[in-house]
């Protein structure tokens, strides 16, 4: 079980009482979770009590993080007591094995990259010899009550309520096992990209490969000089297996041209910078090429959007290590007074952060309702702060603090500096976590 604070942990509002009806969730993942939980805890009496507690509304807000699901129980005592469900996290090797097996299934891969958690992911997990759902004896219940049952009704109730969360967000199952969805997708994309670059996506010895190679090279490969032969170290020919191409000895590179003589009069380079940022430009081009290649190979949900002149100016100002670069950009751009604040937004949130700074929009009612519930639940002594909601801006009255909701579903913290709102930290998917970090800061 994971101990201590984890930045990936997420909070969810307490469930209100439910009168009658089914206690098991509606979705496939929810029902699969409940089935695994009940198989591991086969005694009917604790399960029956747990279903009653789950409907009663006596559990407080839920916290879901790597290795654990936690809540507090309000059961008539002076103080609530904690209840925790522990579940072993998968290690890095197990996650790598899961994504390798997932990459073998195009349909599963496509669904994951679209933000869904397909049921067939369980088959990939089984092929990797690991479990996503709790196996027998894996769920470790802890509770502050004095009930003799093991598990107690409160731990069982927490298991049922977690299944209700899976109805809305099945990817929480990955988080409990140790990976949030963004990290999981990045690892899967890396596997897909590596396969595409090395040719591992194809079979190692596909049927009929010899015949295809013979046709591509114009006949049997013979010694250098014969028809159809490929000289050692020569360029790869279409149809040549990657393993054969990489096995050839490397051809020596030509001599580098001489460097230009330094200026004798000591004048600065044309750019005005001590060293032209060629290395950074090359790195930037490599990143853009990777994004385009990932999209082309199906590892990205949409192609990277080209930046306009202002966005690219902000990007350079935010990411260039030379402090003279922003000053030069302020002199050259048509929005010099806005550049520093825009660069700060880019540092915290990239292009999406800049959009949140500059765009005002009205979220859907469901998003507003969920956020208001999350932000006003769980305050003990002082009560929830007063929030003024205007479009996608949520302002804490009199505190100089603000959250902005982006179209990417993340919450961006802002602080008031002399009457102007400035970005104040990294975005978070959970509104309550973003607010807590903003208040702590």
| pLDDT tens-place string over residues 268-313 | 554 444 445 566 667 667 767 777 777 676 655 566 677 888 998 8
pLDDT at 171: 93
Let me know: does 49 contact 149? Beta carbons within 8 Å: yes
pLDDT at 77: 64
DSSP sequence for 73-127 = E-SSSSS-EEEEEE-PPP-HHHHHHHHHHHHT-HHHHHHHHTT---TTHHHHHHH
Q: Looking at the domain assignment, is residue 316 inside a domain? A: no
pLDDT at 233: 45
Q: Which of 192, 225, 256 is the last residue of a domain?
A: 192
Q: Looking at the domain assignment, is residue 124 inside a domain? A: yes
Phi, psi of 421, rounded to the nearest 5 degrees: -80, 125
Give per-residue pLDDT as tens, 125-165.
Answer: 999 999 899 988 899 999 888 777 788 999 999 999 999 99
Q: Looking at the domain assignment, is residue 274 inside a domain? A: no
Alpha-carbon gap, residue 378 to 59, rounded angstroms: 11
Let me know: does 119 contact 66? Beta carbons within 8 Å: no
pLDDT at 245: 66
Q: Looking at the domain assignment, is residue 273 inside a domain? A: no
Q: Looking at the domain assignment, is residue 354 inside a domain? A: no
Q: Which of 156, 177, 192 is the last residue of a domain?
A: 192
pLDDT at 229: 45
pLDDT at 207: 47
Q: Looking at the domain assignment, is residue 252 inside a domain? A: no
Helix/strand/coil for 382: coil
What residue ranges of the chain have pLDDT lower than 50? 1-3, 201-238, 270-275
Parent domain of 413: 365-440
pLDDT at 117: 92
Give the chain's domain count: 2
Q: Looking at the domain assignment, is residue 241 inside a domain? A: no
- Name the region of 350 (left: φ>0; alpha: ψ -120 to 50; beta: rest): left
Q: Which of 171, 192, 213 is the last residue of a domain?
A: 192
Nearest to 134 by CA among 166, 105, 181: 166
pTM: 0.49
pLDDT at 211: 47
Alpha-carbon gap, residue 124 to 107, rounded angstroms: 12
pLDDT at 242: 61
Q: Looking at the domain assignment, is residue 134 inside a domain? A: yes
């Amino acid at each position: 079980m994971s101990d201590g604070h984890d930045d990936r942990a997420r909070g969810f509002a307490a469930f209100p009482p439910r009168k009658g009806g089914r206690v098991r969730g509606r979705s496939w993942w929810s029902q699969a979770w409940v089935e695994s939980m009940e198989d591991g805890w086969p005694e009917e009496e604790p399960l029956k009590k747990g279903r009653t507690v789950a409907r009663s509304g006596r559990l407080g807000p839920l916290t879901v993080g790597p290795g654990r699901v936690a809540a507090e129980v309000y059961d008539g005592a002076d103080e609530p007591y904690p209840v925790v469900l522990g579940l072993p996290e998968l290690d890095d090797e197990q996650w790598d094995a899961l994504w390798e097996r997932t990459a073998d299934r195009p349909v599963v891969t496509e669904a994951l990259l679209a933000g869904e958690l397909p049921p067939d992911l369980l088959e990939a997990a089984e092929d990797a010899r690991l479990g996503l759902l709790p196996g027998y004896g894996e769920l470790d219940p802890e509770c502050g009550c004095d009930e003799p049952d093991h598990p107690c009704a409160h731990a069982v109730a927490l298991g049922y309520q977690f299944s209700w969360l899976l109805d809305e967000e099945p990817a929480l199952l990955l988080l409990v096992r140790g990976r949030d969805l963004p990290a999981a997708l990045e690892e899967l994309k890396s596997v897909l990209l590596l396969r595409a670059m090395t040719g591992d996506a194809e079979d190692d010895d596909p049927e009929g490969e010899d015949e295809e190679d013979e046709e591509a090279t114009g006949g049997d490969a013979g010694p250098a000089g014969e028809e159809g032969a490929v000289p050692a170290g020569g360029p790869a020919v279409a149809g040549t297996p990657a393993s054969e191409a990489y096995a050839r000895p490397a051809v020596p590179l030509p001599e580098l041209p001489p460097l230009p003589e330094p200026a004798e009069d000591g004048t600065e380079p044309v750019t005005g910078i001590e060293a032209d940022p060629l290395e950074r430009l090359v790195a930037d081009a490599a990143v853009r090429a990777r994004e385009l290649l990932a999209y082309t190979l199906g590892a990205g949900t949409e192609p990277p959007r080209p930046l306009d002149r202002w966005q690219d100016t902000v990007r350079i100002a935010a990411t260039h290590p030379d402090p003279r670069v922003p000053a030069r950009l302020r002199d050259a751009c048509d929005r010099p007074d806005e550049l520093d604040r825009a660069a700060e937004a880019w540092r915290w949130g990239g292009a999406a952060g800049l959009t949140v700074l500059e765009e005002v929009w009205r979220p859907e009612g469901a998003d507003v309702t969920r956020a208001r519930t999350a932000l006003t639940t769980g305050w003990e002594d002082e009560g929830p702060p007063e929030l003024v909601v205007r479009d996608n801006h949520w302002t804490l009255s009199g505190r100089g603090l603000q959250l902005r909701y982006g179209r990417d579903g993340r919450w961006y913290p802002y602080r008031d500096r002399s009457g102007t709102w400035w970005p104040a930290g990294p975005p978070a998917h959970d509104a309550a976590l973003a607010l807590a970090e903003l208040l702590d800061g």
